[in-house]
Amino acid sequence: MKRDFRFYKIATGDWYIDLPEWKGDPEDLQMIQGADEWLDLVSNSNEVTLSIADCSFDEADYLTLIRLGETNLGGGGNYFLERYQNRSVGLKIWLCEIVTFIFDQYPQRIYFAAIT
């Protein structure tokens, strides 16, 4: 599955994913715990659209699943961005259950590329 997602930063500096089909708490769409740093890295402004997939595609970088989070500590998946655009990054990223809403699982790798 490959899909384009828009992310945007509000005046407070917080990043969110634009996911109109999400019927849960809107705060669940906030990108936190490293995901905000990831978006700062891949964007040139307060908004970025990323092609995101659970399989490789041309020009894609990827996040690698390190481990699943403990349910009593918020669950989610802990990912690692080792490299971005051939540069060493070493960024740990926590992604919430929105990942399972999109992919029906926590993929071993999440591939992404900024759309220009």
Question: What pLDDT is stored for residue 4 in this prediction?
Answer: 96
Tally the residues of the chain. 116
| pTM of the predicted structure, to 2 decimals | 0.91
Question: What pLDDT is stored for residue 74 in this prediction?
Answer: 67
- What's the Cα-to-Cα distance from 32 to each of 2, 16, 39, rounded to whole Å? 23, 9, 10
Question: What pLDDT is stored for residue 24 in this prediction?
Answer: 87
pLDDT in tens, 69-115: 777 666 789 999 999 999 999 999 999 989 999 999 999 999 999 99
pLDDT in tens, 41-64: 999 899 999 999 999 999 999 999
